[in-house]
Amino acid sequence: MDPERALQRCLDAGASYADLRVETQEEQKIQVQDGDLRTLVAGEETGFGLRVLVDGAWGFASSNDLSGRSWNRAVDDAVRLARAASGRKEKVSLADADPVKARVHWKPKQDPRGVAVEEKRELLADMDKTVRARPEIRNGTTAYSETLLSKSFWNTDGSAIEWSLARTVAQVHFTAKRNGDLAGRSTRVGGTRGWELFRIEDPIAKAEEAADAAVRQLGAPSAKGGRQTVVIDPELAGVFAHEAVGHASEADLVAAEESCFKGRVGERLGIEGLHIHDDSTLEGAFGSLPFDDNGVPGQDKQILRDGVLVGYLCDRERAATFGMRPNGASRAQDFQSRPLVRMSNTLIDAGEHAEEEVLDVKEGIFCKGSRGGQVDTARGTFLFHAQDAWRIEDGELTTPLRDVSLTGDILNTLHNIDALGNEQRLGDPGYCGKGQWVPVCDGGPLVRIQDCLVGGGA
């Protein structure tokens, strides 16, 4: 059965709307642990996901069997599930979206499939060798992965879209130890590029920098807890943008009253000059994509402009809820997953201060990188752990610190930002979990925050 016939069959069965995604992922993964090859796998999977809207309720079915019988069964299952859910009080409606007919292929300059496995293993060996040049490094894992993703999308509004891209990533994770002190570290290089990525950004140099940072942290004192002036680096600024601002702006969480941004569109939440947005069109960034899984073109989605909350990240359903335009924020982990409101590349824009001006603090703490944390978007609170930190004394970075955490209220912290550096940089690529995993990236400039609660030792 062809896609148009499948969608027509959905309409004939009573659906007011239907869409169909067909997806192929071709992957290769290599992992080396403590110098030994542990994983070398390659494979390809193709499947489809079908959504129908019947009597204001969604139904979904998927399969990796593309035979006509499978498609007929998926239509029947999706319609049946939608009818079973149609008794819900809240009825789904969709915001208008212009039908799109397009073919977009982001072709890598050097297709990673044409690179020999031996060359990929050599890259991992060099990263491992660089890290292990320091006697304090006791164990480590390096990994490489490539994904060639191809998607086709059709809906009953008339869209017919075909797109593809490549994602490539190399990473290292290790532990440093000295006199009973431990410090773990990880770093990665990744993007929507092919093998040429590693000529643009050197993963061996990043591994070396991370190893030096881990060794430097061994034996470092803990930070003194309390409220202090804090400067965060572009990577941690990006994490704040993603976790504290990006998630709070996801329209499905706002609608579920799980966001401190609910009802605040048009309200000033931060200083003039503070711009935070989510941009899925950023060339080469790990979270970029030409179209979302509603068939809406990828775009630069504004969240805060000059400190004012100007909108949410919306799929077609939640755009209808809030009277907004869908803005390309619908993503599914794979063909077996339903699309959700998700981020892509979440960024704080550079400001007007030279970096030495941002660091012009009599006494404070400089935090670099992230080693995890948590956010409660409903309560509007966050806790982040920095990978590295230093005391700031009279504008200079002095004593290295360890075990530094930052705790705060999202809305108060946005108001307490008082300086933004004039250089924006992306942090390490990653994967965002929200019941499903999708590739993301984030970044920003140096950001200075007043009255930030720092956790540490006495």
Q: What is the pLDDT of residues 17-31, one digit of tens each?
A: 999 999 999 999 999
Among the candidates 217, 236, 270, a domain finishes at 217
Residue 255 and residue 209 share a domain: no
Residue 88 pLDDT: 84
Task: Based on the fold, state whether residues 252 and 183 are members of the same structural domain.
Answer: no
pLDDT category at 302 given cuts 50, 70, 90 is very high
Report whether pLDDT(1) > 70: no
Q: Is the pLDDT of residue 284 over 90?
A: yes
The number of distinct structural domains making up the chain is 2
Range of the domain at 432: 226-455
Residue 431: pLDDT over 80:
yes
* CATH code, domain with 116: 3.30.2290.10
My answer on whether 139 and 247 are in the same domain is no
Do 325 and 408 lie in a common domain?
A: yes
Instruction: State whether 205 and 247 are in the same domain.
Output: no
DSSP letter for 9, please. Answer: H
Taking residues 364-371, what's their average pLDDT? 94
If you average pLDDT over residues 320-326, what whole number do you get?
97
Average pLDDT taken over every residue of the chain? 96
Residues 101-147 have pLDDT tens digits of: 999 999 999 999 999 999 999 999 999 999 999 999 988 999 999 99
Tell me what pLDDT residue 458 has.
38
Clarify whether residues 77 and 210 are in a common domain: yes
**Same domain flag for 309 and 204:** no
The answer on pLDDT for 223 being more than 90 is no
The residues near 368 (Cβ < 8 Å, ≥ 6 apart) are 213, 232, 233, 235, 236, 386, 387, 388, 389
Residue 304: C-alpha distances to residues 113, 233, 285, 446 (Å): 40, 20, 21, 17
pTM score of the predicted model: 0.96
Taking a C-beta distance cutoff of 8 angstroms, is the pair 144, 120 a contact?
A: yes
* Claim to verify: residue 200 and residue 250 sit in the same structural domain: no
